[in-house]
């Protein structure tokens, strides 16, 4: 067998299947280690159950709609939150609020849980912030918050090795949670804010009233709108009078033109008295003519027509006739001023005077209308300013009333917060637990399971690192050589390898070695 190298493989490497007999065999081969581990784990579990009992304290929080809060808006009338239905979202919101860092961190600090974390490390103590973070993580991991089915109640459970500490942590948690709930749903400082805004609104209102009171003294009009309306009415009256005056003036101008035309065709004087008669000289001349005709008759009866005295007499008769014909009638006429002409003249004077008066009246009315319109525009601007002042005072008054109303609501809300009137309530306060949360039977069961698991693991580990053959089948399977003979060991417990192909004095001889 010299020069023959022995190759050792485990059953796992050879792919052997384990039976119940093999498992029992493993236990018997390593019974000392198996029993030692099993008993040690049981004893340790028993010691842990006695030394480190876990006490669980719990508290219950009722989520209700006991209080209706107004919504803070800029409206005078606030909508009210009248919904009293508690939804699953509301319950989950409260659960997350309880488990938030803002709630649990003050609990850690107030209960001193960070001090316990810092004392766990004697040689390498943690920083304060690291201790707080670790204690916060432990608190989150141990704290259980669960809504009770078909209720509006949240059950909060906290386990601890000290019953007083478990109850104290939940007491502090309840108080911090209520404070946080009040802070979130009713932010502090509302009353102070609305009180400041009310005072400022009061000052603005007083300033607006002072400006409104000073307005009549500065403008000279207490009611510019009424003054503007009156002035506009006067402007309308003036415009009507101006139109009438211009109509009268145009009528007077047309009348004057007509009178001038009539005056041109009217005699300024008229016949007052007329006397028709013959003149004495004319009568004498007719008498002379009669005498001359008588004398011509006498001479014509006596003399020839060419008789010179007769010719002279004829000439004298003809001349007398001519003279009589030229001064046949003498009229005695008396004239006087024509009243029509005088009336036309007077009417022209009146028309001209009326036109002059109307022109002056038109100019004056236009000037008055312009001045009145300037006053209207000024009054209209003053009316706009007055409306702005009135609107500013009304706005300031509305703001003052609004903020006064809001301040009273905030005061009531703060008063309700002071008296702890919230939409959540502590239904059951935490009490110091009298008995541990876990039972001894459960602890024994868990210890037994843990002991069996660890002991089995230890046996399998030892078997894993045990490089020996136990049956001829293992030799044939590992070395791929037929076994001709197997010599039992002295203790009858199988084969234990010793490096030269033998185990505890038993040798396994392969066929090639015998040959």
Of the CA atoms within 13 Å of residue 171, those in its CB half-sphere come to 11
Residue that is written with structure tokens 């997350």 in the block: 96
pLDDT at 443: 62
Query: What's the rounded Cα separation, in Å, for the pair 176 and 108?
Result: 11
DSSP string, 146-188: EEPTTSSEEEEEEEESSHHHHHHHHHHHHHHHHHHHHHHHS-T
Residue that is written with structure tokens 């038993």 in the block: 506
Query: What's the rounded Cα separation, in Å, for the pair 122 and 237?
Result: 107
C-alpha angle 153/157/160, rounded to 5°?
A: 165
Tell how strand 424-428 and strand 269-277 pair up: unpaired
pLDDT tens, the chain, 515 aa long:
344 444 344 444 444 456 777 677 777 777 777 788 888 887 777 776 655 567 788 898 888 765 555 555 555 555 555 556 778 888 888 889 888 988 899 998 888 887 875 555 555 566 778 888 888 888 888 888 988 888 888 899 988 878 888 889 889 998 888 888 777 766 666 778 888 888 888 898 888 888 888 888 887 777 788 888 888 888 899 899 989 989 988 988 998 888 888 878 877 776 665 555 555 666 777 788 788 888 878 777 777 777 777 788 888 888 888 877 776 555 555 666 778 888 888 888 888 888 888 899 899 989 998 998 888 888 888 888 888 888 888 998 888 888 888 888 777 776 665 554 457 778 888 888 877 766 666 667 777 888 788 878 877 787 777 666 666 776 677 677 777 766 665 544 444 444 344 444 344 444 444 44
> How far is the CA of 210 from the CAs of 200, 220, 392, 476, in angstroms?
15, 16, 12, 119
Query: What's the rounded Cα separation, in Å, for the pair 151 and 10?
Result: 62
For 63, the enclosing helix (H) or strand (E) is strand 55-63
- Three-state DSSP class for 325? helix
Handedness of CA 270, 272, 278, 282 (dihedral sign): negative
Query: What's the rounded Cα separation, in Å, for the pair 244 and 242?
Result: 5
Q: Per the confidence metrics, is the pTM higher than 0.75?
A: no
Nearest by Cα to 21 from 476, 471, 499: 471
Query: What's the rounded Cα separation, in Å, for the pair 394 and 388?
Result: 10
């Amino acid at each position: 067998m010299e020069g023959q190298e022995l190759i050792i493989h485990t059953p796992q490497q050879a792919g052997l299947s384990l039976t119940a007999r093999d498992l029992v065999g493993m236990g018997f081969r390593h019974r000392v280690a198996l029993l030692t581990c099993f008993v040690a784990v049981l004893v340790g579990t028993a010691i842990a159950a006695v030394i480190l009992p876990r006490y669980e304290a719990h508290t219950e929080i009722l989520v209700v709609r006991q209080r209706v809060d107004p919504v803070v808006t800029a409206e005078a009338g606030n909508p009210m939150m009248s919904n009293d239905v508690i939804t699953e979202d509301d319950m989950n919101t409260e659960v997350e609020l309880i488990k938030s860092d803002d709630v649990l961190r003050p609990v850690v600090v107030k209960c001193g849980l960070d001090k316990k974390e810092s004392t766990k490390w004697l040689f390498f103590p943690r920083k304060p912030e690291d201790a707080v973070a670790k204690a916060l993580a432990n608190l989150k991991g141990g704290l259980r918050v669960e809504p009770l089915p078909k209720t509006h109640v949240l059950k909060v459970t906290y386990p601890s090795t000290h019953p007083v500490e478990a109850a104290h942590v939940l007491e502090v948690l309840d108080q911090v949670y209520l404070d946080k709930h009040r802070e979130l749903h009713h932010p502090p400082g509302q009353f102070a804010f609305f009180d400041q805004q009310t005072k400022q609104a009061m000052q603005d209102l007083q300033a607006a009233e002072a400006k409104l009171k000073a307005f009549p003294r500065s403008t000279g009009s207490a009611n510019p709108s009424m003054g503007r309306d009156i002035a506009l009415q006067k402007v309308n009256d003036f415009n009507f009078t101006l139109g009438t005056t211009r109509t009268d003036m145009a009528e007077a101008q047309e009348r004057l033109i007509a009178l001038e035309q009539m005056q041109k065709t009217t005699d300024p004087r008229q016949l007052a008295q007329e006397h028709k008669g013959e003149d004495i000289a004319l009568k004498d001349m007719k008498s002379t003519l009669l005498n001359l005709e008588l004398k011509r008759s006498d001479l014509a009866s006596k003399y020839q027509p060419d008789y010179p005295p007769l010719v002279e007499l004829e000439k004298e008769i003809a001349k007398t006739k001519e003279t009589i014909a030229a001064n046949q009638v003498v009229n005695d006429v008396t004239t006087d001023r024509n009243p029509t002409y005088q009336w036309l003249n007077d009417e022209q004077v009146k028309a001209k005077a009326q036109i002059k008066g109307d022109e002056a009246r038109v100019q004056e009315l236009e000037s008055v209308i312009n001045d009145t319109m300037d006053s209207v525009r000024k009054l209209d601007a003053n009316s706009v300013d007055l409306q702005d002042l009135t609107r500013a005072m009304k706005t300031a008054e509305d703001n003052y009333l609004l903020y006064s109303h809001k301040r009273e609501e905030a005061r009531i809300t703060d008063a309700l917060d002071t008296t702890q009137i919230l939409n959540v309530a502590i239904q059951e306060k935490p009490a110091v637990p009298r008995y541990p949360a876990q039972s001894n039977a459960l602890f024994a069961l868990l210890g037994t399971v843990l002991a069996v698991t660890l002991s089995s693991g230890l046996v399998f580990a030892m078997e894993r690192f045990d490089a020996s053959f136990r049956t001829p089948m293992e030799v044939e399977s590992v070395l791929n050589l037929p076994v001709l003979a197997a010599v039992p060991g002295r203790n009858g417990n199988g084969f234990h390898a010793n490096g030269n192909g033998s185990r505890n004095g038993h040798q396994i001889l392969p066929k090639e070695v015998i040959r």
